[in-house]
């Protein structure tokens, strides 16, 4: 699965059906560097975005060029779905 497909499934809050791994008893989609259970999106070991109260929270902290591309793609795809994106600095735990 590509990172873009993982992001699309995350934005649509889809939990994985054919897991490679389980975290908190939820099935994960896995891409090249991304994982998602539909509720949160993890790049390597850092939570990049999560859903809470029908809003999408996006970690905008700068990590790398690749992470910035992923963050921009999340913003773009979320805007296409009409989701409210709340930008936060850091993982927002």
Residue 88 is predicted with a pLDDT of: 94
Spatial distance between the Cα atoms of 8 and 11, rounded to a whole number of angstroms: 5
Question: Could you tell me how many helices (H) and strands (E) the chain has, helices first?
Answer: 2, 8
Question: What confidence tens digit (pLDDT) does each residue in 60-86 have?
Answer: 999 989 899 999 999 999 999 888 899
Q: What is the mean pLDDT of the chain?
A: 81
CA dist list (Å): 62 to 13, 14, 33, 57: 25, 27, 16, 15
Give pLDDT, residue 69. 92
pLDDT by residue (tens digit) across 28-43? 667 778 888 888 898 8
Find all residues with CB under 8 Å of 71, minimum gap 6, and list them.
Answer: 48, 58, 59, 60
């Amino acid at each position: 699965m590509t990172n873009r497909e993982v992001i699309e499934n995350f934005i649509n809050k889809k939990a994985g059906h054919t897991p490679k791994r389980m975290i908190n008893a939820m099935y994960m989609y896995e891409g090249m560097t991304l994982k998602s259970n539909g509720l949160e999106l993890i790049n390597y070991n850092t939570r990049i975005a999560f859903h809470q109260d029908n809003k999408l929270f996006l970690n905008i902290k700068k990590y790398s060029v690749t992470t910035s591309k992923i963050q921009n793609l999340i913003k773009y795809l979320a805007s296409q779905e009409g989701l409210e994106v709340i930008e936060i600095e850091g993982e927002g735990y």
